[in-house]
């Protein structure tokens, strides 16, 4: 029985790669893809979700949720890495955007249709999930798997904060404090893996829809990463988070007590964990602390190659 998942995304190059891995995976039923502002503004994120689906044309189309404006204007975006349109500046055409329900409504409807059975894989700011809880405080989500935060390593958008949490720390705190079963994949682990050129050359070729799409969006990201970080490759944070959801045996997890700082010039968006010898905070999530990096990379390439064959 395929596992029911919702992907909540702010595409975003690594969101797009994760979507390609998930949409063709026979072990997953992607019941919805819900857009959220982050790497790009909300309207662009919604457009990009439709672009990705039209470009790769999965066997089963999920429902699409439209991103709405967050309560506070987004403090940053990711266009310096992901391109002006969030997809490498490829300027894809898109069919007319049908009117969509807001992401938080799509999440509530999908979860209520299958109580305690849907996994939300959150790959952007946590705005939609916090709003879903606002609409339906007892929302019976099976599991929330979140890419975000940092445990002992630095942030990536400020010295203390990771991008997804920093974009909407109030929502992140609400989700961290929710009673749902949660798993966090932080930068400490996702920064260890770089998708390099030789791995890029192993991806499906232009004759496939997935291969053609990836070969349009990835080269500009490689250029941006080289220019900004001197890296010969790109991070794929969201692909790793997706794998942690579907292949947890490749990861080492530890129960922790985590929360989010929502104020402070230097600390807003920081994720804080009680790791004192005798913690006072109650454990509220499983945190990925290690992974089989070589196998995770192999699985990313394999899932993308499988996607191209379908
Ligand atoms: O910090 C990395 C995260 O922020 C990834 O999800 C990336 O897509 C951006 O959303
Ligand atoms: Ca993302």
Q: Is the dihedral of CA 290, 295, 301, 307 positive or negative?
A: negative
- What pLDDT score was predicted for residue 57? 96
Digit-coded pLDDT (tens) for 103-158: 999 999 999 999 999 999 999 999 999 999 999 999 999 999 999 999 999 999 99
| Alpha carbons 298 and 211: distance in angstroms, whole number | 16
Atom of ligand 1 nearest to the CA of 11: 8
Digit-coded pLDDT (tens) for 159-180: 999 999 999 999 999 999 999 9
Using a 6 Å cutoff on CB, does residue 188 contact ligand 1? Answer: no
Span 269-284, mean pLDDT? 97
Question: Per the residue annotation, which of 82, 101, 237, 283 is the catalytic one?
Answer: 237
Least confident of 37-51, 88-102, 246-260: 88-102
Query: Residue 264 — pLDDT band, cuts 50, 70, 90?
Result: very high
Average pLDDT across the chain, whole number: 96
In this model, does residue 230 exceed pLDDT 90?
A: yes
For residue 238, the CA-to-ligand 1 centroid distance in Å is: 7
Mutate which of 76, 192, 234, 237 for ligand 1? The one with the most ligand atoms within 8 Å of its CB, which is 237
- What would you report as the CA-atom Rg of the chain, rounded to the nearest whole angstrom? 18
| Alpha carbons 201 and 301: distance in angstroms, whole number | 10
Ligand in nearest proximity to the CA of 241:
1
- What pLDDT score was predicted for residue 257? 98
| Alpha carbons 56 and 19: distance in angstroms, whole number | 10
| Alpha carbons 246 and 243: distance in angstroms, whole number | 5
In this model, does residue 293 exceed pLDDT 80?
A: yes
- What pLDDT score was predicted for residue 98? 76
Q: What is the DSSP string of 86-146?
A: SSTT------------BHHHHHHHHHHHSTTTPEEEE-S-SHHHHHHHHH-TT---SEEEE
Span 45-66, mean pLDDT? 97
Using a 6 Å cutoff on CB, does residue 85 contact ligand 1? Answer: no
Query: Residue 310 — pLDDT band, cuts 50, 70, 90?
Result: confident
Atom of ligand 1 nearest to the CA of 13: 8
Query: Residue 100 — pLDDT band, cuts 50, 70, 90?
Result: confident
What kind and span of H or E run contains 296? helix 293-309
Domain ranges of the chain: 3-309
Query: In angstroms, what CA-CA distances link 221 with 54, 82, 149, 248?
Result: 21, 6, 22, 28
SS3 243: helix
- What pLDDT score was predicted for residue 96? 73
| Alpha carbons 21 and 5: distance in angstroms, whole number | 13
- What pLDDT score was predicted for residue 212? 97
> CATH homologous superfamily for 3-309?
Ribonucleoside hydrolase-like (3.90.245.10)
In this model, does residue 99 exceed pLDDT 80?
A: no
Start-to-end Cα distance in the chain: 19
Beta bridge pairs of residue 146 = 122, 184
Report helix, strand and coil shares of the chain as percent, to nearest 5.
Answer: 40, 20, 40
The question of whether 101 is a catalytic residue gets the answer no
- Is residue 58 within 8 A of residue 16, CB to CB? The reply is no
């Amino acid at each position: 029985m395929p596992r029911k998942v919702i992907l909540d995304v702010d595409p975003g190059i690594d969101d797009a790669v994760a979507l390609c891995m998930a949409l063709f995976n026979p072990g997953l039923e992607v019941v919805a893809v819900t857009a959220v502002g982050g790497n790009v503004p909300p309207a662009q994120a919604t457009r990009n979700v439709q672009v990705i689906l039209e470009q790769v044309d999965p066997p089963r189309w999920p429902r699409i949720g439209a991103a709405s404006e967050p309560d506070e204007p987004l403090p940053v975006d990711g266009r310096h890495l992901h391109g002006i349109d969030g997809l490498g500046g490829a300027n894809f055409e898109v069919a007319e955007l049908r009117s969509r329900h807001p992401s938080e409504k799509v999440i509530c409807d999908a979860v209520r249709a299958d109580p305690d059975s849907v996994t939300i894989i959150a790959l952007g700011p946590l705005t939609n999930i916090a709003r879903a809880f606002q609409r339906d405080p007892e929302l019976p989500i099976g599991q929330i798997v979140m890419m975000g935060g940092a445990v002992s390593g630095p942030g990536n958008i400020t010295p203390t904060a990771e991008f997804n949490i920093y974009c909407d720390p109030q929502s992140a705190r609400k989700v961290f404090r929710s009673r749902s079963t949660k798993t966090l994949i932080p930068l400490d682990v996702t920064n260890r893996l770089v998708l390099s050129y030789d791995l890029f050359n192993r991806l499906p070729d232009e004759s496939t829809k997935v291969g053609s799409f990836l070969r349009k969006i990835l080269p500009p990201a490689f250029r941006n990463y080289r220019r900004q970080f001197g890296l010969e490759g790109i991070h794929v944070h969201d692909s790793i988070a997706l794998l942690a959801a579907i292949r947890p045996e490749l990861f080492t997890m530890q129960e922790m007590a985590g929360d989010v700082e929502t104020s402070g010039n230097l600390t807003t968006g920081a994720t804080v964990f009680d790791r004192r010898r005798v913690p006072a905070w109650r454990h509220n999530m499983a945190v990925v602390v290690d992974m089989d990096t070589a196998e995770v990379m192999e699985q990313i390439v394999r899932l993308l190659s499988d996607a191209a064959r379908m």
